[in-house]
Amino acid sequence: MANSGGPKLMFKLASLGILGACLWLFTSGGLTQSANLTIEHQPDSPLQISSSQIDLTYSEPSLEVTLMLASRSVKPIRAFTIASSVGRDKTGALLITTNTDEQMWQFNEIKPITMRKSRAEIIDGVKLSIDFVEFSDGTTWGPDSFNSADDLAGEREGLRLSVQILSQIAKTKGFGGFINNLTSNRSDISIPKGKSLSWERGFQRGAGTVIERLNRAYTKGGPGQLESEWARTLADSKRTSPE
């Protein structure tokens, strides 16, 4: 009698395991087609997508994709772009940048990133590839189909100019004036003329990011946290320049 429940228990555990696998492949929203995501073979890329995993257990219109990225470069990798392709057309890109030396991909280092893709892309078939890589010394690799180099240059100029303006305000008006000008400072920054759309987009993002992170710090922790965040912002602005 003591052993009669063993097979039933094992059967239940096996059933739960099968159910778990099904939940990974089929969503509660009724997705009945297999995921179709492939990784482009790029033996010469300094950054390799070593594996991918799609979480299909949620019913949202977009799905979370986790990628494991391995550096094959002796030079630290500071930024990179992952391109999405459907058929022969590159349809989208995700630009990843790092703010500190510790965040950079070092030689043979493997780290995860997450991105979201629509269910339609996953079902119809999407291919991921490394489109652009920027190293810590400012040199780059890849076709750069989405003008990521221009985007990054604009972002860094927006960051630099925003920090420069805020530094001048702090110098002439003190920290109190610095705080008073935070919310209105972004409108004081004009986009330089004659730049590409990618550069302008990056510039706006860079300038806006500085103001947003400082305002967030001030709202959360007052002048003390703002001062600490300002010190980190100054340090980050220096790190973004090529070595």
Please report which confidence band the pLDDT of residue 88 belongs to, taking 50, 70 and 90 as the band edges. confident
Q: Which two tokens stand for residue 89?
A: 């057309």
How many residues in the chain? 243
Residue 192 DSSP code: P
CB 82, CB 115: distance < 8 Å: yes
Q: Is the pLDDT of residue 19 over 90?
A: no
Q: Which two tokens stand for residue 42?
A: 């790029």
Q: Pick the range with the lowest mean pLDDT from 19-23, 66-70, 102-106, 150-154.
A: 19-23
Tell me the sheet residues that pair with 118. Answer: 62
Within the chain, all domains assigned CATH 2.60.40 are found at: 29-146
CA pair distance 118, 230, nearest whole angstrom? 37
End-to-end, the C-alpha distance of the chain in Å comes to: 74
CA pair distance 130, 219, nearest whole angstrom? 38
Q: What angle do CA 139, 141, 146 make, to 5 degrees?
A: 110
CA pair distance 217, 228, nearest whole angstrom? 9
Residue 58 DSSP code: S
Which run of H or of E encompasses 208?
helix 197-239
CB 171, CB 98: distance < 8 Å: no
Note the pTM of the prediction, 2 decimals: 0.77
CATH topology of domain 29-146: Immunoglobulin-like (2.60.40)
pLDDT tens-digit map of 22-46: 333 333 333 434 568 999 999 999 9
pLDDT tens-digit map of 159-215: 999 999 889 988 898 888 888 877 555 556 788 899 999 999 999 999 888 889 999
Q: Note the pLDDT of residue 179.
A: 83
CA pair distance 170, 162, nearest whole angstrom? 12
pLDDT tens-digit map of 124-171: 889 999 999 999 999 999 999 999 999 999 999 999 999 998 899 888
